[in-house]
Amino acid sequence: MKTMKFILAFFILAGVAVSAQAEINIIPRPVSVVPGNGTYTLTEKTAIVSGEATQSEAAYLAGILAKAFGEKPHIKAKGKGIELKLNATLKDSLGDEGYLLKVEPKRIVIEGATRTGVFYGIQSLRQLLPPAFEFHPEKGKNAAVPVVAIADKPRFAWRGFMLDVSRHFKGVDVVKSMLDQMALMKMNVFHWHLTDDQGWRIEIKKYPKLTSVGGYRKDTQAARHSDKREGKPHSGFYTQEQIKDIIAYATARHIRIVPEIEMPGHASAAIAAYPWLGVLGTTKEVPVRFGKLPDSFNIADPRVIQFLEDVLTEVFNLFPGKVVHIGGDEVMYDAWKKSKAMQALMKKEGLTSPADLQIWFTNRISQFVDSTGHRMMGWNEILGDNVHEWQDSADTQVKQTLAKSAIIEFWKGSLDLINKAVSNGYDVVNAYHRMTYLDYNYKMIRLSKAYSFNPIPEGLDPKYDSKILGFGCQMWSEWIPTTKSMDLKVFPRLAAYAEVGWTPLPDKNYQRFLDALHNMEQRWQLDGIDYHKGEE
């Protein structure tokens, strides 16, 4: 009620009559849109008015307008134009990421309690402009911006997109392009899946073979359930300097990066580089086939624990964010059950099942992560639940309890497991595979199905709503070798997920979303981004 009173007061002060929402084609749909009469004319002479606190956002907007006019607009401290303002009083009503956007015939004002709010107001302004505006620089051009008052804030604080670059390396430019699209649609977490069985993609100075050996495979499985190979090597990794560049690029777009370093499973590329890391002693090269593989880190060896802490230390020194993802999914326990070292460790620690051993290990990593001022995140197998049909139920009889500081990314199993996790005190990011896996085809996850996703599962006690931090949508790349094949799976579903994370549930409207999507599709076409057409 306090928020609505504030918004109504804002509209009155803006001199805009409160009426039905106009067809304002912004994705994700803003919380409140009140149309006015007339337009603001944006020209190459339009200035950006900004104080010191919003200079980086002013520079970002100037770069956007330079794409249209061929030269950057003037940024000044006072006057009229596009005014960027910090307003701390907005925090109570709109939070850290909310904003007010007021377009009048003589000026545009964007306000937020923080720089992030101002940045998101800029993204909404961009979408009020004609789709082609940014793509054809031309002296003397102008654009009409409709008079409108928008008050907006996100539904969830965690609005994530995951890109797997381990199975098929994507390079720097592709990552930056995805960050641009995330920013345009107000998504704020880039989950970067950097290591897996088929490739290690992050430079670790202390262990150079992770990339010189682990970043290269001699061939690649060509299709599911097939022995056919592509017949060519695949390689690539990000240097630490490239990672710093990408981090800076993301930070300028108010996106935080969560790196994923898989452990204890999905470790074959690292083991190929340093065979002493593994349990089996048989992993000699980076695997060329996909799927669940038998080897994992030998967590009974103190040298391996030290290796993982060394890797995480370099990761912490690179990434400014406080969350690190350690994977933890699909560990194949057969190798552990046959390993004398693993069995001896279980006996020493009083552990009765392989899942208990994994929780014991995960807690040890969590203690290290916590001690550095960071927070550990993992797929929901780290809780010890049996979520796989191929897993022996006896292997997941657990007595250990996962550290409460862990963030759980739920991807598989009964939705009741989310209720169990939040009632036990864990924060959850909902990434349920049947609703959010972008590598699935459009018959499995139609655009309308993606749009219908609700990160808060049906039946969850409302007192636990705050434990659902938000959602993630995942682009796994085993069978997605090219940028074009990736884009066709990501777009337009990424736009649907953006609205899932931002727009209040009662305000979602699929037909209205489709109407707004036409403008976004024009932008993608002009930007050279391939996108899927139709529901299937």
Helix axes 171-184, 240-252, angle to 10 degrees: 10
Please, are residues 60 and 217 in contact by the beta-carbon 8 Å criterion?
no
Please, are residues 332 and 376 in contact by the beta-carbon 8 Å criterion?
no
| Residues of the chain under the 50 pLDDT cut | 1-2, 4-6, 8-9, 11-22
C-alpha separations of 108 from 47, 93, 131, 399 in Å: 10, 21, 19, 59
Residue type, 385: D
Whole-angstrom distance, CA of residue 516 vs CA of residue 497: 14
Whole-angstrom distance, CA of residue 146 vs CA of residue 24: 9
E strands of 208-315, at which residues?
216-217, 234-235, 256-260
Neighbouring C-beta atoms of residue 449, cutoff 10 Å? 16
Please, are residues 247 and 257 in contact by the beta-carbon 8 Å criterion?
yes
Neighbouring C-beta atoms of residue 308, cutoff 10 Å? 23
Please, are residues 198 and 230 in contact by the beta-carbon 8 Å criterion?
no
Please tell me the predicted confidence (pLDDT) of residue 7.
54
Please tell me the predicted confidence (pLDDT) of residue 12.
41
DSSP state of 469: E
Please tell me the predicted confidence (pLDDT) of residue 474.
98
What confidence tens digit (pLDDT) does each residue in 144-170 have?
999 999 999 999 999 999 999 999 999
By the 10 Å C-beta count (0-12 exposed, 13-18 middle, 19+ buried), 373 is classed as exposed
Reading the block at residue 283, the tokens are 């992993």
Please tell me the predicted confidence (pLDDT) of residue 461.
95
- By annotation, the residues acting in catalysis are 196, 266, 330
CA within 13 Å, CB half, 515: 10
Map tokens 């937020």 to a residue.
112
Please tell me the predicted confidence (pLDDT) of residue 385.
95
Please tell me the predicted confidence (pLDDT) of residue 281.
94
Closest CA to 438 of 479, 381, 380: 479
Pairing of strands 468-475, 427-430: parallel
Helix axes 55-69, 115-128, angle to 10 degrees: 20
Whole-angstrom distance, CA of residue 311 vs CA of residue 314: 5
Closest CA to 191 of 169, 167, 160: 160
Reading the block at residue 448, the tokens are 């309308």
- Angle 112-118-121 from CA coordinates, rounded to 5°: 105
Please tell me the predicted confidence (pLDDT) of residue 535.
72
Please, are residues 53 and 117 in contact by the beta-carbon 8 Å criterion?
no
